[in-house]
Structure 1
Amino acid sequence: MNEPVSISRATSLSRPASRASRHGSTISRSQSLIQKNIAAHDLRPSDILIERFTAWKAIVKQLISYFEGIADIENNIAREMTKLAGIIQVPFRSGNQFLGEGGLQDIFYGIRDKTRAIADQHANLGRTVDGSIVQHLQKLKAEIKAHIKNIQNDTGKLATAVAKERELSAKLIGDLSTNVSIYKNTPLNITAKTDPYVANQAVFRQLVKQVHTENALQKSLLLTQASSAMFEASLVQAIQSAWATFSEWRTRMDNSIGELFNHLQTDMSALPPDREWITFAAREDHLVDPETPLRDPQAITYPSKDDPSVLPVHIGLLERKKRYTRTYRESYYVLTAAGFLHEYASSDPAVGHQPLFSLFLPLCTLGPPSPSSAKSHKFHIEERKDGTGATNSGSFRHMKDSLIGRGHSTGRAWAFRARSHDDMMEWWNDIRMLCARYLVASEQMERDGPVLAAVRAAGYTSDDDGEETEEGSSIEEEADDDDDAIYVEARDLADGEGEETGPPEYSHGPAVSARDNGANGYPVRNFLTAGPRRPSADGGARRSTRKMAQA
């Protein structure tokens, strides 16, 4: 008796539990049809379609953003091109500098107008993309959203019904198993409703209903798949149409812009390069005539240009002995009427515009020139502090003492060498006219024959066989004979002490009488026979002072 009661209690308890669970799960079944209540593979085609067209919606959205960007770019280009057109200011503000017609101004008119036309082309393309293509793609996006909604509505209801039928079928099958168990265990406790036959009939009817619902869902899915395939094809065609429209408008714009630029190129290349200048030169009166000759600096006249003091007395090349290396260096020298011997780096005034070395000759003593038989054609100039010196200091010994720092003089001495004896005599004759005093060598006796041969055999050499060794000079020292050279005063100060003398000038005129001032203001010696200032054509030097005194 206890077992049937327990069985009936179990049965009675299971029914209220099943009823409560049935009422409590109504909402949850409608919310989670695919994930919980049914198998995933049965309703997966619907989910796949939804996911696919959701991806299509994202693609179309990207394409919309792309074309919106193109529209913005074209509109920005249109604005910038309009600004560029405003840069060209025509007509020109520079007065009558350019032609009004048929010149550069007409080309600039074309540049401005065609730039504005190019800006209009870009603006038209931007408006077309924004108003046609972007709007078309936005409508396409809305259609995709609607199609996704239709898939959800059509298959969703059927999927809900299938889920309900499957749940009911599972419950009836469970009840059938329970009734069969009661029948086998407690056959006396079975009722008409719990009869396994009746329960089986209910299960069969429910399975038939479930199968019909599932078949309806399958048909709906097949229709949805077919419509989705057609809809996707229409999506592709719509995108292709949008891109074809953009390409057509873009090609049309590019062709128009290309034609505009070609016209600009044609107009610019058609302008002759010299048209503007020919017209400008024809109407302008202040341009320089191309036939005007260039000015010659030598033809310039200015005050004191031809004054004797600015003309060089002698110019040419000389070699000056270096003080420490004892080697000669050739330079360009200029002897001026003011009494200066200037050394320049070059004869080109642009290179040597300032003298490298200058010697004021009125305060110097000029040494005798080397004879014509000497191997080196040189002379010496000694600097004197007082400018007068002693009257009996004209020998070679005193000259040597002054050069090496001994004797009465405290000045310096310089040795100069020329390329030839004639060139040296020209320099020497011009310099002696400007020095305070100069030395004249006496005539040397020609020694030859057995005496000269014996002297040379004994190991003695003449004075001209080698170069000098004294620092800063190259004077060959003679024997202790003070009469070998005679000191000659270039300025005779005996007469007219305290008299004012004229400014130093130099003239290449004939010799003047003794104690007369020359053209340069310095007194000159009275020679009984006025010799030429420069050597004769046969190369002989001037006669010595002693011979001239004997004449």
Structure 2
Amino acid sequence: MSTPAEHKLPQRSATMSSSLTRRTSMSDDEAIPQTDSSETTNLLLERLRAWKHMCGNLEDYVSVTAKVAKSQSKDHEKILKTVSEPLKESHHFSASDGGITGLFENMRNNSQGMVNMHLESEQNLKGSVLPTLERLHKEIKNKSKELQSGAVKGAKAVEKARQLTQKHIELLGHHSASHGAAAGNKIEQQHDPYILKRGINYRLNKQVTEENNHRNDILAVQNSFAQFEAHVLQTIQGALEQFFQLMGGQLDRQRAMYADILGTAQRIPPDFEWMNFCVSNDATLVNPDSPPRSFASITFPNMDHRSTQPLIEGSLERRSRAMIKGYSTGYYVVTPARYLHEFKDTDDFRKDPTPELSLYLPDCVVGAIDGVKFNVKGKDVSSGKVGNAFHTTTELSFKAHSARDAEKWWTVIKDCTRAPTPASAGATSPTATSPDGSTSQNQPPVYAENEKSAAVASSSTATAPAPAADKAIDAKDHAAASPTAGLSRTASTASHFHTSPGGSAADKL
């Protein structure tokens, strides 16, 4: 038996890594990548079909050889016909003599020399070599079915997630443009660009997870191809070795021809075809060295639009409508759309950030500030049109962490209840310097009708009887507040909230 000659294995060129890295970097910063999630899967499925048809050619070769074992020389022409046609999907195999293409060329040449010879041991060929190739054929089919069923499911999940993200990005673009064109118009709560942006964060995070899961599945299958194809080649080599041994009893010439076929197959390194395939398809295969997508590097249209930036946000305490429960802490945001939203937390990824409470401030009445407390009377619009029909106007009591914080919240909320003028819509208020050197923004102008409403609300609040527990809390808060009739603006306490750089008139008090 001849010893297989050593071959230098082809190496994946540096251009493959660089091109894949460039393609990955260009698509990773996009919210909706312009890539087909099933492109790699289709290529691998086509390659499996090539191996399956190659295995079918070998089965035909052995089967017909067995049938003409007791036939005359004319019957040997049938053997030649089984390998006379080019391989299907031949572009998947190396065109050099050291691969599958060279093996079939060698088989055609030796079969031509056996035209005038008869073959023996028909039953042995059908009982040993042919079943081995049939089992290999089934393995390749099962591999193809496994890849197709798993990859199609993952690709559908990725496409569905991308469609949901694209839909909400387009919705944000529409309502962000509407907000910029007419800032004074009322925007529906569910169409608040701030809410839409956070909804995009939620869906984009789910999309990235689906993409990375699908990528990991495809990469695992792709990495297993080298080992699988080595197994295919080793099985073929073993089948051809059995074939050679069975035909060894024939004439020396016949033995030499089959030995030549076996030697050609054995000289193919297990990863020869795979490495050549990787080099010729480096732009399509997944680069195992490229990092997975990162949510932090993704951008999408209008993500920094001014309508998505809160005027003020932070934690406040709100007294429950059930008097015995007292105050509970929540995360509150005042948006440029003039909504006061309440959330449980600031996490955009665990679940869809839907407000627990939403007040459209132009429809609300803001009471006078009392130390760390202030009241807002309005209607909760967080349940949509149907749910809002059952909501009634209620007075909500808020408590800040300090008198300075309460003043900032009250000023921003009060400013949002006033109708914006064309000249001041979207612009920030001028800043002023206090006597102690710190800078603060000017207070909004006082409107007679709003002040009258606030005075009426304050009067009704003062005359309403309060439970004993609330009286004790109010007495404690009044003791900590400034004894003068006005509000103290010089107290410096730790802030429990932050405001956006382009927020309302009280963002930098």
Q: Which has the higher contact order (CA 8 A, sep 6+)?
A: 2
Band the TM-score falls in, shorter-chain normalisation: 0.3 to 0.5
TM-score normalised by structure 1 residue count: 0.31
